[in-house]
Amino acid sequence: MSDLTDLTIAESLSKLKTKEISPVELTQAYIKKLDDNSKYNAYVTLNADEALKAAQESEKHYNNNTNRSLEGIPLGIKDLFCTKGIKTTACSHILDNFVPQYESTVTQKLLDCGALFLGKLNMDEFAMGGSNETSYFGPVVNPWSKNTPLVAGGSSGGSAAAVAAKMCAAATATDTGGSIREPSAFCGVTGIKPTYGRCSRYGIMAFASSLDQAGPICKDVTDCALMLNAMAGYDAKDSTSSKNEVPDFSSFIGQDVKGLKIGVPTEYRPDGLNSEVAAYWDKAAQILKDCGAEIVNISLPHTKYALPTYYVIAPAEASSNLARYDGVRYGLRVSGNGLDEQYINTRTSGFGAEVKRRILIGTYVLSAGYYDAYYLKAQKVRRLVKNDFDEAFKKCDVILTPTSPVEPFAIGDKKMLENPINMYLNDIFTVSVNLAGLPAMSLPIGLSQNGLPLGMQLIGRAFDEATIFKTAYQLERGANFVRM
Amino acid sequence: MSEYVIETEKGKWEIICGLEIHCQIISKSKIFSGASTEFGDDVNENVSFVDAGMPGMLPTLNQECVHQAIKTGLGLNAVINKYSEFSRKNYFYADLPQGYQITQFQYPIVGEGFIDIDLDGGITKRIRIERMHIEQDAGKSIHDIDPHKSFIDLNRAGVGLMEIVTKPDFRAPEEAGAFLRKLRSILRYLGTCDGNMDEGSMRCDVNVSVRPLGSDEYRTRCEMKNVNSVKFVMQAIEIEARRHIEVYENGGEICQETRQFDPVALTTKVMRKKEFAHDYRYFPEPDLPPLILGDELINKIKTELVELPDAKKSRFVKELGLTPYDAMVICENKEVADFFEKAATGRDAKKVANWLMGDFFAMLKKKNLEISHSPVSAENLGKLVDLITKDVISGKIAKDVFEIMAETSEDPEKIVEEKGLKQVTDTSAIEAIIDAVIASNPDNVASYKAGKVNLLGWFVGQVIKQSQGKANPALVNKLLKEKL
């Protein structure tokens, strides 16, 4: 083996168990890789020394056969997850030097499985963005970039880029409107947003509470199952987390999809859809058909309302969730003459433009006199979007769509920057899933003519990640995408 | 009571008043966090990460607070809503760490109910309850330690509150006073709030408007926030009403505004005009699912409910023969009622009530003691009444015995025994004294026999005096008549 960072988690674990490699060697390999690839700006805080210490501990576990499910696997952690003793900023100036004294449930579960943390990953500020350009620490560069630096997608751009460039074995991420799936597609990696309530939100800085969900970004489908096994589960500290039993997701890897009904929604193929994207969509359907699945046309009639609905609900919740960043107790404080001025000064310099835009939108849609027309209406449409999926799943078992209508674009793209709506439109295939609380995965399907990765999305019934894993594995095999 | 009318040279006016009462829930821990609710602990000692509004922290509902709210709702004769929801009330203040208060808005846990209040002259009046919801308290801002700095104590932040809102049913300050006393009594009976207005565990907002007597219109009201004693509430209503009348009679208009009552100057002054009222941007709390209550729980709490003051009062009247007034006084405080019942069981309850409301209360007041710390136990008070009823001691001697009991906490039987205070009922002993008195007062004997029969009282006094108070007066009377 020339480079240990080429290994998937599953491969690493089998070599670790046979002591062919050691956790320290594996960790050192990743640390070297993240140094070599620092140009991608994927990490905002490094934890290399602690990671090596943890690797030594893991070595002991292997030596005395007390190794746990992810023993010695080096992970990157999105900077939205609070990690005890490790700086956590949500890539916002307003959380300058904030070091949590507590661990998020998801990262704690990963630690309990023996994983170790290489550092904190770049992201859009407070997970608000689709290109990782709103980060206070600057954009992540897509490792697939040729001459022009391209975006890695967002908001989990650091997570996707780090996995693609082998700067960690896998990464945690979060998805509010596509923040796991879009960067996964842009960086040619695999990420799953599980059902809302599958993973605890405790200790994850809230963007939009009713939409936020944690999930892994990995090198392949098999690793996603391993990671999600560790991350999922009921948590008494999150009242929205589900008590539904968590199956062993790995057990669905390799199961066949014969007779499975794959839904293809008409509304996701608007006039003018990128022809390469459309062609790969057809190809993906064909692969699954060849595996014995049945392709059925379905309709999700309220699709066109999903994006505006999302951009009412998410900012509304965000405007309230971000009120706590006020300079009184932690993070940045810019003093002023009196309390109100301190608030204004702190939040004016602490938040970036996109975050401010969403706080303003959210404050507006919740205001007296506008609440019914915007927020309440949006909640009603949200229900309709969910009903669409309920109807569709009477006809099919899993839904296949492209992840993004576009391939990765240049950092600083003029069209995206001059009108935020253009950026928001990249989420059209992903936001409905969050509104309906459903699980969905993005996996690479192939390269565009420009040599850039494109992703396919599989959407499942609530709490039926199993069917997604089953289908995704077969699609992955058929697509035969070559990782970086 | 007679109709309360404010009469001026120009006309007669009626008061319209409603109250909103915030009651701190008695519970071991806060309503959305596990932190302790102990009053009087060191500043910022009882603060969890949730209470401090740390990033990523989530509320979880304390079931104990829900049970207390159901109990209180039942005590208010109110509808318990099986479906209720939490909402966020958004505003910025330094003692509100999250930047919003979690409260209930559209769907409160308790719906309409009522309390019957007791007014002078044995009249009762029904005050309707509009609703009661549960919410979290804010912390405390302290502005008087430093001229340039404010300090924040978050011990109170997150403590559970019940907000009880009445209909505008009060027509006189005394009615509001009687209501608050009755409410406090009910809450203390239930053990859901200690009702200490001076400690801030019960806080009252007062809404006042006036209208010409006989009219049925509702005019603009003003709200006075945080009036912190029953007396001040009554004063605030009258003073604010008189202000309204003066404005109207001088051709002015009342503006809807929040005012503050100044108990020293006995005025109200404007705190916040309507134009500057907060827009709280209420929306459903996405971190907490709706609160669904089952009949089973509600019925369980119903069956476990203690006997409330009204029920106890009518039982004391019906079964123990107390006057309604005595029963009302005794039942206002549960500890007093329990003490009374313990002392009165199996005895002449009216006599026990007289002793309790007479010498016993006077003793407590003199010693400045709560009934729970009384040196005279219920058992001993009962025994004292027994000694009187069984003619072992006279009522006069009983007062002396009671004084000794108040000092020593001793058993009255023991005191009577040791001090030799038993009434003399031995006929021969009394006859000997009578003979001696007759022998030494021949003049009075002659006068008596000549027809001055009211001298009998003088003889009785002499005999009892010579017996050092121990001779049974009835026996002395009887024997004297025979001898004379």
Q: Do B152 and A240 touch (CB under 8 A)?
A: no
Which residues of chain A does B93 touch, with a Cβ-Cβ cutoff of 8 Å? 339
Q: Do A324 and B97 touch (CB under 8 A)?
A: yes
Domain boundary (B363, B390, B419) is at: B419
Q: Which residue of B has its CA nearest to A318?
A: B286
Q: Do B90 and A237 touch (CB under 8 A)?
A: no
- Would you give the DSSP letter of residue B360? I
pLDDT digits (tens, 9 = 90+) for A368-418: 999 999 999 999 999 999 999 999 999 999 999 999 999 999 999 999 888
Q: Which of A33, A78, A120, A219 is catalytic?
A: A78
Domain boundary (A330, A364, A379) is at: A379
Same structural domain, B198 and B265 = yes
Residue A297 forms part of a structural domain? no
Under a CB-based contact definition with an 8 Å cutoff, are residues A37 and A165 in contact?
Answer: yes
Range 191-210 of A in CB contact (< 8 A) with B: 201-206, 208-210
B242's enclosing H/E stretch is: helix B230-249
Q: Give the list of residues 6+ apart from residue A453 with CB closer than 8 angstroms, or none.
A: A144, A185, A186, A187, A188, A407, A408, A444, A446, A447, A481
Same structural domain, A61 and A205 = yes
Same structural domain, B291 and B378 = no
Residue A298, pLDDT > 70, answer yes
Under a CB-based contact definition with an 8 Å cutoff, are residues B184 and B117 in contact?
Answer: no
Looking at the complex, does the CB of residue B142 fall below 8 Å from at least one CB of chain A?
A: no
Residue B14 forms part of a structural domain? yes
B261's enclosing H/E stretch is: strand B257-262
Q: Which two tokens stand for residue A59?
A: 């070595």
State the number of CA atoms in the 13 A half-sphere of A390 facing the CB: 9
Same structural domain, A197 and A133 = yes
pTM for this model (two decimals)? 0.92
Q: Which residue of A has its CA nearest to B94?
A: A328
Q: Do A239 and B56 touch (CB under 8 A)?
A: no
Residue A199 forms part of a structural domain? yes
Radius of gyration of chain B (CA): 30
Q: Give the list of residues 6+ apart from residue B152 with CB closer than 8 angstroms, or none.
A: A328, B44, B94, B95, B139, B140, B141, B142
Question: Given this model, what pLDDT does residue B2 score?
Answer: 53
CA atoms of B447 and B449, how far apart (whole Å) = 5
Helix locations, B155-218, DSSP H = 173-190
The verdict on whether A251 is a catalytic residue reads: no
Q: What are phi and psi of B102, to 5 degrees?
A: -85, 120
Please count the residue pairs, one from chain A and one from chain B, whose beta carbons lie less than 8 angstroms apart: 100
Q: Which two tokens stand for residue B298?
A: 């509600």
Dihedral sign (CA B400, B402, B408, B411): positive
Q: Which of A155, A156, A200, A242 is catalytic?
A: A155
Same structural domain, B294 and B331 = no
Same structural domain, A27 and A126 = yes
Same structural domain, A84 and A158 = yes
Domain boundary (B378, B395, B419) is at: B419
Looking at the complex, does the CB of residue B297 fall below 8 Å from at least one CB of chain A?
A: no
- Nearest Cα of chain A lies from the Cα of B297 at a distance, in angstroms, of 20
Which residues of chain B does A82 touch, with a Cβ-Cβ cutoff of 8 Å? 55-56
Helix axes B334-344, B309-320, angle to 10 degrees: 20
Q: Do A202 and B100 touch (CB under 8 A)?
A: no
Q: Can you give the CATH number for the domain in which B439 is found?
A: 1.10.10.410
User: Would you give per-residue pLDDT tens digits along chain B (484 residues)?
Assistant: 457 999 999 999 999 999 999 999 999 999 999 899 987 789 999 999 999 999 999 999 999 999 999 999 999 999 999 999 999 999 999 999 999 999 999 999 999 999 999 998 889 999 999 999 999 999 999 989 998 888 999 999 999 999 999 999 999 999 999 999 999 999 999 999 999 999 899 999 999 999 999 999 999 999 999 999 999 999 999 999 999 999 999 999 999 999 999 999 999 999 888 777 889 999 999 999 999 999 999 999 999 999 999 999 999 999 999 999 999 999 999 999 999 999 999 899 999 999 999 999 999 999 999 999 999 999 999 999 999 998 888 888 899 999 999 999 999 999 988 887 777 667 777 888 888 888 888 888 888 888 888 888 888 888 888 887 777 777 888 888 887 7
Which residues of chain B does A330 touch, with a Cβ-Cβ cutoff of 8 Å? 54-55
Domain boundaries, position B433: 427-483
The verdict on whether A155 is a catalytic residue reads: yes
Same structural domain, B444 and B313 = no
Q: For an interface test with A, give the residue of B44, B57, B85, B86 to mutate (most A CBs within 10 A).
A: B57
Q: Give the list of residues 6+ apart from residue B180 with CB closer than 8 angstroms, or none.
A: B19, B21, B197, B202, B204, B230, B233
- The pLDDT-based confidence of A345 (bands split at 50, 70, 90) is very high
Same structural domain, A160 and A27 = yes
Same structural domain, B433 and B352 = no
Strand A453-460 relative to strand A398-402, pairing: antiparallel
Same structural domain, B102 and B179 = yes
CA A143 to chain centre: 17
Same structural domain, A56 and A170 = yes
CA atoms of B87 and B286, how far apart (whole Å) = 8
Strand order in the sheet with A213-218: A43-46, A116-121, A74-78, A170-175, A213-218, A190-193, A440-447, A453-460, A398-402, A261-265, A294-298
CA atoms of A47 and B11, how far apart (whole Å) = 80
Q: Do A319 and B281 touch (CB under 8 A)?
A: yes
CA B71 to chain centre: 18
Q: Which residue of A has its CA nearest to B153?
A: A329
Helix locations, B292-348, DSSP H = 295-304, 309-320, 324-331, 334-344
Beta bridge partners of residue A296, listed in sequence order: A263
Domain boundaries, position A163: 4-252
Q: How many domains does chain A have?
A: 2
Q: Do A328 and B52 touch (CB under 8 A)?
A: no
Q: Do A326 and B152 touch (CB under 8 A)?
A: no
Same structural domain, A243 and A149 = yes
Same structural domain, B395 and B438 = no
Residue B1 forms part of a structural domain? no
- Would you give the DSSP letter of residue B239? H
Which residues of chain B does A323 touch, with a Cβ-Cβ cutoff of 8 Å? 90, 92, 98-100
Q: How many domains does chain B have?
A: 3
Same structural domain, B254 and B395 = no
Which residues of chain A does B288 touch, with a Cβ-Cβ cutoff of 8 Å? 239-240
CA atoms of A319 and B90, how far apart (whole Å) = 9
Domain boundary (B299, B317, B340) is at: B299
Q: Amino acid identity, residue A215?
A: G
pLDDT digits (tens, 9 = 90+) for A48-93: 999 999 999 999 999 999 999 999 999 999 999 999 999 999 999 9
Tell me how far CA of residue B131 lies from CA of A242, B104, B134, B162, B326, in angstroms.
Answer: 32, 11, 10, 10, 32
The verdict on whether A356 is a catalytic residue reads: no
pLDDT digits (tens, 9 = 90+) for B282-323: 999 999 999 999 999 999 999 999 999 999 999 999 999 999
Single out the residue of A54, A46, A69, A65 nearest to residue A23, CA to CA.
Answer: A54
Which residues of chain A does B97 touch, with a Cβ-Cβ cutoff of 8 Å? 324, 328-329
Question: Given this model, what pLDDT does residue B1 score?
Answer: 44
Residue B194 forms part of a structural domain? yes
B118's enclosing H/E stretch is: strand B113-119
Same structural domain, A239 and A319 = no
Nearest to A317 among B93, B282, B286 (CB): B286
Q: Which two tokens stand for residue B39?
A: 């009053």
Single out the residue of A207, A373, A376, A378 nearest to residue A307, CA to CA.
Answer: A378
Q: Do A320 and B281 touch (CB under 8 A)?
A: yes
Cis check: omega of the bond before B409, within 30 degrees of 0: no
pLDDT digits (tens, 9 = 90+) for B350-407: 999 999 999 999 999 999 999 999 999 999 999 999 999 988 888 888 999 999 999 9
Residue A289 forms part of a structural domain? no
Q: Give the list of residues 6+ apart from residue B287 with CB closer than 8 angstroms, or none.
A: A206, A209, A239, A240, B58, B59
Same structural domain, B102 and B221 = yes
Same structural domain, B285 and B362 = no
Same structural domain, A119 and A30 = yes
Same structural domain, B472 and B410 = no
SS (HEC) of chain A: CCCHHHCCHHHHHHHHHCCCCCHHHHHHHHHHHHHHCHHHCCEEEECHHHHHHHHHHHHHHHHCCCCCCCCCCEEEEECCECECCECCCCCCHHHCCCCCCCCCHHHHHHHHCCCEEEEEECCCHHHCCCCCCCCCCCCCECCCCCCCCEECCCCCHHHHHHHHCCCCCEEEEEECCCCCHHHHHHHCCEEEECCCCCCCCCCECCCCCCCCEEEEEECCHHHHHHHHHHHCCCCCCCCCCCCCCCCCHHHHCCCCCCCCEEEEEHHHCCCCCCHHHHHHHHHHHHHHHHCCCEEEEECCCCHHHHHHHHHHHHHHHHHHHHHHCCCCCCCCCCCCCCHHHHHHHHHHHHCCHHHHHHHHHHHHHHCCCCCHHHHHHHHHHHHHHHHHHHHHCCCCCEEEEECCCCCCCECCCHHHHHCHHHHHHHHCCCHHHHHHCCCEEEEEEEECCCCCEEEEEEEECCCCHHHHHHHHHHHHHHHCCCCC
Residue B252 forms part of a structural domain? yes
